[in-house]
Amino acid sequence: MPDVGEGLTEAEVVSWRVAPGDTVTVNQILVEIETAKAVVELPSPYAGTVGELLAEPGVTVEVGTPIIAIETAEAGSPEPAAAAAPSDEGGAKIGEAGADGRIATLVGYGPRQGTVARRPRRGSPGAAARPAALADAAVAPAEVEPPAPEAPSQAAPASVGGPAQTPGADPWGDLVPLAKPPVRKLARDLGVDLRQVTGTGAGGVITRDDVQAFTAAPATEPAAAAGPAVGREDRREAIRGVRKATAAAMVSSAFTAPHVTEFLSVDVTATMDLRDRLRAGREFRDVKLTPLAFVAKAVCLAAKRTPAINATWDADAGEIVYHGAVHLGIAAATPRGLIVPKIRDADLLDLRALATGLSELTETARAGKTPPTDLVGGTFTITNVGVFGVDTGTPIINPGEAAILAVGAIKPMPWVVDGELAVRTVCQLSLSFDHRLVDGEQGSRFLADVGALLEDPGVALTW
């Protein structure tokens, strides 16, 4: 498992794009993995034949752990010793054992041969002898002869180093059952532990019918007097991926940066009228011009007047870093959880470019294709809680930033205009800022500036 470039320590295998025996070319996509930041496709650095997949979909693998063995043309020797010998080109290929016995992975080297055990297929004649067979032939699994059905199975427990399995023990333990990603998702949605399901597919693969039959089975048996109704059981999910990263970041921010939150109600009738006029014009006809684009532009303009709002507290260096550019983060709710992709140099973009960037950013995030590089390096964040009909909130600052702005629902409300009560289009803004960096006067002035620009966009001409 490689480090995709952001210092991550682990990733979950989502789905394989290849199978044992497939011929692969350089840069062909091998596998899709999910990190704490994004879903990433890993390409093949070599051309050759896939010997074995060493990690099942749904398994979280640490960086440096072998996940695939690829037999290259140069490594295709029938003698195991030849595969372990160093090549003239320097270094072993993917899936090969080097001179020190370690197996080459996509990045660097993983553990030595015999330290990685794969889950045996259910019902396989050589399932019990699988760990011993893998230790002898991890380099070229395609050339491994099937183990004898009797003798190896008796010796296998000794090779693993564990006690013999008792008749009533769980045969799977921590091993992952065979099931395709859609079936795993169905099981998660239904709260089913796949280790308790008997697979009826080829080689013991668990199918959708197996999962559905498992959930329906309790209904045919007499229910215990005190037992919960079917479908109302508690469901547990592993804390991983985006949820794990978000939790760590929010806890770090909440207990490190002293938060102050201020609120402002704004009459945005003039901004919404301007939006309607621009959408009718030729320049914005093919652009999805949302109210968030006007908020983003107002933030960029107001940040120039209050540099502290676009700064970072560097405790290690004992310095405050005032950023020269605004890298605007936009909180986006996706099926994987909350992520915050960035619009780089947002302060240099005009309204049309901001609207286009917001649209592309949102579509990419919802499709799960946001690259990890777009999720780091922000200087200010906007979260739009108004899309859920929420008026306001107290957002938590992203670590490394000085403030975050929450935009509430935009809706008609009674408003006093020139001493008369009128119905206007009103929005609630809330700004949370780090009081180490931003004084109350600075935070208030920035929020007031954003409100003034949204109440009367023409104010920008006076700055």
Provide the annotated active-site residues: 435
Q: What amino acid is encoded at 353 in this protein?
A: A
Q: Which residues contact 345 (CB under 8 A, 6 or more apart)?
A: 325, 326, 327
**Which two three-digit tokens encode residue 93?**
């290929």
Cα 429 from Cα 408, distance rounded (Å): 6
- Among 131, 110, 9, smallest CA distance to 67 is for 110
CB 356 within 8 A of CB 379: no
E strand or H helix that includes residue 359: helix 351-366
Backbone angles phi, psi at 250, to 5 degrees: -70, -40
Torsion of CA 312, 313, 317, 318, to 10 degrees: 140
Q: Which helix (H) or strand (E) holds 150?
A: none
Mapping DSSP to helix (H, G, I), strand (E, B) and coil, where does residue 326 land? coil
Measured over all CA atoms, what is the biggest interatomic distance in the chain, rounded to whole angstroms?
A: 95
| Upper half-sphere CA count for residue 90 (Cβ side, 13 Å) | 0
What is the three-class DSSP state of 111? strand
Q: Judge whether 71 and 83 are in contact, CB under 8 Å.
A: no
Cβ neighbours of residue 232 closer than 8 Å, sequence gap 6 or more: none
Which residues in 278-353 belong to E strands, given as ranges?
A: 311-314, 319-322, 328-330, 332-334, 337-339, 342-343
Kind and range of the H or E run holding 383: strand 380-384
Q: What is the DSSP string of 101-127?
A: SEEE-SSSEEEETTS--PPPPTT-TTS
Distance CA 401, CA 380 (A): 6
Q: Which two tokens stand for residue 54?
A: 């060493």
Two structure tokens written together for 293:
């684009």
Cβ(397)–Cβ(253) below 8 Å: yes
Q: Which residue, 67, 65, 74, is CA-closest to 47?
A: 74
Of the candidates 69, 64, 94, the residue with the CA atom closest to the CA atom of residue 19: 69
